[in-house]
Structure 1
Amino acid sequence: MKYILILLASFFISNDLHSQDLKFSDLDKSPLDVVMYRDADQSAIARVIYSRPSKRDRTVFGELVPYEQVWRTGANEATEITFYKDVIIADETVAAGTYSIYTVPNEDEWTFILNTDTTQWGTNYNEENNVLKAPMNVTPAPESIESFSITIVDDFDGGTMFMGWDNRIASLNFKVVQP
């Protein structure tokens, strides 16, 4: 009897799910991703939360993402970085905390922007809340990068953040302030 009840319940639940017309194809086209950067002792230094738009046969830089305009640096909500320790970027100390990342792409150099506004929709940019602007190096990607990606790799006394998409890779060095 118990097995018959379980079978009937499974049947009705299954039919109910099919009748709701679930559409996984309607899910976010730019999925969320997280990058954690840790020191040698595995202590957190930085975490980046961002959405990853795809190229999908489009020309990205200069068209989809115009040159010389502030870009949300990803898709959907503003890309967010949390520094768990004070860092130095372009000879300026940035206090531990959470910030939004914006960039201004150009062909040969990008501008990296940290902003105190967080959790907002990515296009809601208020320049008055900028904490830092710093140049980023830009190099051609060795091959086309389909989905926008961010990673951080170890560097002497800190790390280098890389942002890659389409045919470009932008990079920014930072150092961890030593106590």
Structure 2
Amino acid sequence: MKKPTLISTLTMAFIMLLSLTVTAQEFPDLNKSPMDAASFPSHYKESNKSVKIIYSRPQLKGRSLETLAPNGKQWRTGANEAAEITFYKDTDVAGTLIKAGTYTLSTIPGETEWTFIFSSDLNVWGTYFYNEANDVARVKGNVTNSDTSLEAFSIAFDDGGTMHLGWGNTRVALPMNIK
């Protein structure tokens, strides 16, 4: 067996170094508004879900909810991409039947109620490309206030299927009756 020469050893070392730098993956910093999901039934052992929502969780960071989601203006209901809600069964949402399927969800905040907009537009960023002609339903959810402030925007379902949105001291309830 032939001993490697200095040149062949340096060449192999250079090729190995080059291959390491070429294949090294750069990972971005953590997202400031990470994605989250809420579903009903909420229990992790229940795999037969009726509804699931995927959304991003912005933080208040000393700002007011009224600045980030102003009353009377359409809001993406989270951050980044539009929130997407999937109904696995036809569902009565606050008295309006919504067929099984996936929709984007945006809201219009208000003092005593929020308007929830379900749209057939998918894969959209925020509400920048919103087209009212693609609305599937608009329903109202009731607003209450809590003594506890939530720093991160959150969505959860209670045991009855009502979807709850919370941010700061604001809480919004949207009743759902799964068919």
**What interval of TM-score do these two structures reach, taking the shorter chain for normalisation?**
0.7 to 0.9
Q: Rg: which structure is higher?
A: 2
In structure 2, the CA distance between the partners of 1:20 and 1:34, relative to structure 1 (3 Å rule), is closer
Choose which of 107, 111, 123 in structure 2 pairs with 1:103: 107
Aligned Cα RMSD in Å?
2.5
Deviations, residues 119-177 of structure 1 (Å, cap 9, x unaligned) = 1101221111111111111111221110000011121xxx1000000120101001011
Distance change (3 Å), C-alpha of 1:147 and 1:129: same
In the TM superposition, what whole-angstrom CA distance separates every residue of 1:98-132 from its partner, at most 9, and x where no partner exists? Answer: 00111000121111111111111012211111111
2:147 aligned residue: 142
The one-letter code sitting in structure 1 at the alignment partner of 2:78 is: G
Identity of aligned residues (%): 43
Runs of 4+ in 1 over 2 A off after TM superposition: 19-24, 38-42
* Deviation readout 1:31-78 (Å, 9 max, x if unpaired): 0011121389641101110000000000112x2211101110000000
Contact (CA 8 Å) 2:96, 2:139: kept in 1 or not?
A: no
CA distance in 2 between counterparts of 1:161 and 1:23 reads: 32
How many residues of Structure 1 are paired with residues of Structure 2 in the alignment?
159
Which consecutive unaligned segments of at least 5 residues does structure 1 have? 1-7
Pick the structure with more strand per residue: 1
Gaps of 5+ in 2: 1-12
| Mapped partners of 2:34, 2:27: distance in 1 | 18
Query: TM-score, normalized by length of structure 2?
Result: 0.80
Q: Is 1:80 equivalent to 2:84 in the alignment?
A: yes
Determine if contact 1:49/1:79 at 8 Å carries over to the other structure.
yes
SS in 2 for 1:128: helix
